[in-house]
Amino acid sequence: MRTIGLVFAVLAPAQIGAQGITDRDLTNASSRTDWITTGRDYSETHYSPLREINASNVNRLGLAWTFDMETKRGLEATPIVVDGTMYVTGSWSIVYAVDAVTGKRLWRYDPEVSRAWGQRACCDVVNRGVAVYGDLVYVATIDGRLIALKNGIPQWSVQTTDKNQSYTITGAPRIVKGKVIIGNGGAEFGVRGYVSAYDAKTGKLVWRFYTVPGDPSKPFESPAMEKAAKTWTGEWWKYGGGGTVWDSLAYDPELDLLYAGTGNGSPWNWKVRSPGGGDNLYLSSIVALKPDTGELVWHYQTTPGDSWDYTAVQQMILTTLSIEGKARKVIMQAPKNGFFYVLDRATGELLSAKPYVTINWAKEVDMKTGRPVENPEARELDPKKMFIQQPGPLGGHNWQPMSYHPGTRLVYIPAQETGYPYLGNENFKYLTGGAWNLGMLPLPATEPAELTPGMLLAWDPVKQAAKWKVSYPTYWNGGVLSTAGNLVFQGTAAGSFAAYNAETGEKVWSMPVNTGIMAAPATYMANGKQYISVLAGWGGAFGLIFGNPSGHNGTPGRLLTFALDGKEKLPPAPGAPALPKPITQTADQKTIEAGSVLYATWCVYCHGFAAASGGSIADLRFSSESTFASYPKIVLDGSYVSVGMPSFKQWLSNDDVAAIRAFVISQRNKIH
């Protein structure tokens, strides 16, 4: 009998129940004890009604199991749990199915993304999770494919993007009425944004909604594009335009409206993108679409004529709020631009907007026009004048999920104080093939990374004011989970996982995890027990550029699962690397300075300010002398392409590479 049992276990790994996840399940997701869609429900609340783990016993929380994610790069997915099986994604869009009780691997699917594609990923080769529908698991890959898996085996796969352009997908698909909804990213490289719906059974494209107009000499795809084209000037379509839908989607089954958040302009600089001015619809907007056709119903633009990477792709939460005595069906968002917005989600009417972090680019949002009252200095984009604008391109809040607790009626925002001098590049030239196209001057590469504070903000969306906040020394802390156990869970950039009292913000539990956490936790019941799971792994847009505030460079990424009285031990963090020996500098100062500018233009996005990376990608300053000698092979001939370092031959010469090497050597020789 024992043998038969084992055979059965091998033959039937992680089957989703015969019927699998249905539309009805998705509509009722908020009342379930598992976690069947990335935001937990169509309203994207990241809130669970579970209360076995609560404010009075959370001190007993411990590790139940850990799972090796086989990567040192960023982890951003929220785990999904269906029928005792967890589905989670890691770097390079790899999918894992794991037993939710034991942490045992059931299957693994690697879409085998070409490692050269990593260069097109603005913000690390991350993935924010899967969707489950029927008995299929859907993943979208960093190179733009959408794949349906059954027990880890592809059933269909479609290329959702043009691979001649620098599209990437990092967001989790969502399921609405038998369709898989998916967007994409790439607005730093020069692409045109859109969101698509594919038939969940067959993978056939059902509709596509472009967020910005294409070449107006060609027919418009929709009336929405014809209207939008009137708000653009110049020859924007040659630069893509941007507006990519790279993260959040939400759905209201009653109103039958699908909400998509759109991204920044491409290039960032409005003066080169749309030189005669204009709002540039539908950049930095919330758009409400009919999910059957993709037809636009309403839009609200948070940042007209965006010039600062102020995406409005940040998570949107649906709920009902009592506003001036009336129950209003609202959609709430804390986009990068620093204002917290509450809109009527049936009509798009602006109900309120207030700053949730320090803002100096605009004074307020005018409630009559719904538009920000801008600070003229922010628009100048003077290449010579530093105006430290707040927030910066990483935003007052980024993709890290916030959470809405229906009991406390607070939104818990992983917020941050950021700033950046946007210096317009008057000599902008558009580059194809995977180069960054911002229309801005690079910042000096030699300046140390400036870390500014982050916080967990408990925000009252009716009063538009903070109820409490927990301050962190740095920004880029993890996504948030709130529960009926009166708890809020969040991982930190500094390398811990913590629980707070949802009403007061008092810290009630925390544990060091040996690396920074960016991802949001999920919670579920399995075998009658409540678990909390979170991906711990550092990287992403911030980690690559600014380094690793936890001080644990190169800790392997792990899926951590906690339960009451959990006794599992966390593997130790790797020790600090030995200090590198100085290398004799043979280049002159002028070459080093030229190398610094080239580095800031081409290398900084992955290898970090001052060549100090966060350990997700090798810290260049610690390279061996033979690696330094091999720079032309690595940078021009692509000898490290298998680990994600492509060739830059298209843009850089031998002299350029020698100058970059001289700059990196100068940075290495400073470490003593």
Cite the active site residues.
309
248 vs 553, beta carbon nearer Ca ion: 248
Q: What minimum distance in Å lies between the beta carbon of 123 and Ca ion?
A: 8
Q: Report residue 645 CA to chain centroid gap.
A: 22
| Measured CA distances, 175 to 21, 178, 288, 533 (Å) | 10, 7, 16, 23
Q: How many CB atoms sit inside 10 A of residue 4's CB?
A: 8
Q: How many CB atoms sit inside 10 A of residue 465's CB?
A: 11
Residues 244, 170 contacting (CB under 8 angstroms)? no
Q: What minimum distance in Å lies between the beta carbon of 443 and Ca ion?
A: 16
Stretch of 147-155, 221-229, 261-269, 343-351 lying at the interface with Ca ion (CB under 5 A): 261-269
Report how far residue 451's alpha carbon sits from residue 259's, in angstroms, rounded to the nearest whole number: 33
Residues 405, 480 contacting (CB under 8 angstroms)? no
The DSSP element (H or E) to which 97 belongs, if any, is strand 95-99
The DSSP element (H or E) to which 392 belongs, if any, is none
Mask of contacts with Ca ion, 67-96, x by CB under 5 A?
------------------------------
Contacts of 59 (CB under 8 A, 6+ apart): 508, 509
613 touching Ca ion, by CB under 5 A: no
561 touching Ca ion, by CB under 5 A: no
309 touching Ca ion, by CB under 5 A: yes
Query: In what side-by-side order are the strands of the sheet with 153-159?
Result: 131-133, 136-140, 145-150, 153-159
| Measured CA distances, 200 to 175, 253, 375, 472 (Å) | 8, 18, 46, 42
Judged by CB under 5 A, the residue of 264, 337, 389, 530 near Ca ion is 264
Residues 115, 643 contacting (CB under 8 angstroms)? yes
Please give the span between the terminal C-alpha atoms of the chain, in angstroms, as a whole number.
65
Stretch of 285-293, 301-309, 433-441, 616-624 lying at the interface with Ca ion (CB under 5 A): 301-309
Q: What minimum distance in Å lies between the beta carbon of 307 and Ca ion?
A: 12
**Range 274-299 burial, b when 16+ CB lie within 10 A, else e:** beeebbbbbbbbbbbbebeebebbbb
Q: What minimum distance in Å lies between the beta carbon of 185 and Ca ion?
A: 8
Q: What minimum distance in Å lies between the beta carbon of 309 and Ca ion?
A: 5
Query: In what side-by-side order are the strands of the sheet with 529-536?
Result: 61-68, 558-564, 529-536, 522-526
Q: Rule CB under 5 A: which residues touch Ca ion?
A: 264, 309
